Amino acid sequence: MLEVFFLGTGGIMPTRERNVPAIALRYKGEIILFDAGEGTIRQMNTAKLSPMKVEKIFITHFHGDHYLGLGGLIQTMNLWNREKPLHIYGPKYTFEFVQNFLNSGFFRPGFDIHVHELGETRLKFGGYEVWSFKVEHGVPALGYVFKEKDRRGEFLKEKLEEYGLEEGPVLGKLEREGKIEWNGKIIRLEDVTGPRRKGLKIAYTGDTEPCERVKLFAERADLLIHEATYLNPEDRGESYHSTVEEACDTARRAKVKFLALFHRAFRYGYDEYAAEASKICESLGVNFVIPRDFDVITFKSGSLAIRNLLEDGK
């Protein structure tokens, strides 16, 4: 199961309604953060997500609304006597900016922090990978893809019966080693399983103006979280951001299954933004959601569900 927590869904500055960007992926007990705007530790506390389970933080770029929450996160980890290292990833200048940040004030972390500067990179971790790709925002900026490794197909009952195999240690050995000798025959894993299942793919743009690399890296993603700061080009002006229509068009061309419109400008109320965005996305035939703070998208057994933690009373 994979859960995507929208801890902050707005852009530029926090409001009473929503905080600035922070997205948490919870996967097999680990929490992976993408951006950490100011107040992220408060949002995590409300969502009942422990910062001690965060091992990796991926920063898209160093505008304040995307990284100023690092201080509160790291100090809280320190107060809770964290021992395991923390890895922070980001674009060019990440090392310099994080060091400056950590050297401010009368505070030094008591655990190791490893800083990694990325270009277009493919990082491999256990059961998943994270890909970084360059976007267009007027400063060094990255988007990211979380890609779960493809999984083996389900064991086929009729094939197990054909070979005289039963649930138990022998199937565990077959899964680990890929083949076994059984009753004088060599049996391969693919002999008794169905087609491989594609791992989940989540793409996050960070801040960017329309960019073809987003389309390329988000190709056939299960979820594309695309910034859609403005409703129209007139409101955007000269800023390096995307409109709702541009985000929807990218999602359509990339053939993504589901689009989340993210980083709404504070000038728009939710209802105003949702009404206009719905018209645009529906006209393009795009499955979409406009997440609020504390919305959670859950992927389980091939299905997608959305809930809000505050409405759940959790």
| CB burial of residue 291 (10 Å; 0-12, 13-18, 19+) | buried
How far apart, in whole angstroms, are the C-alpha atoms of residue 112 and residue 237? 42
Distance from CA of residue 177 to its chain's centroid?
A: 32
> Has 207 been labeled as part of a binding site?
yes
How far apart, in whole angstroms, are the C-alpha atoms of residue 132 and residue 130? 7
Neighbours of 87 (CB within 10 A): 16
How far apart, in whole angstroms, are the C-alpha atoms of residue 199 and residue 242? 28
How far apart, in whole angstroms, are the C-alpha atoms of residue 109 and residue 142? 26
Length of the chain: 314
DSSP assignment string, 73-134: HHHHHHHTT--S-EEEEESTTHHHHHHHHHTSSS---SS-EEEEE-SS-EEEETTEEEEEEE
> Has 61 been labeled as part of a binding site?
yes
Out of 65, 222, 293, 295, pick the active-site residue: 65
> Has 241 been labeled as part of a binding site?
no
> Has 66 been labeled as part of a binding site?
yes
Structure tokens at 96: 């310099």
| CB burial of residue 303 (10 Å; 0-12, 13-18, 19+) | exposed
295: annotated active-site residue: no
How far apart, in whole angstroms, are the C-alpha atoms of residue 43 and residue 29? 18
> Has 87 been labeled as part of a binding site?
no
Q: What is the DSSP letter of 258?
A: -
Q: Which residues line the annotated binding site for Zn(2+)? A: 61, 63, 65-66, 137, 207, 263
Active-site positions read 65
Q: Which residues line the annotated binding site? A: 61, 63, 65-66, 137, 207, 263
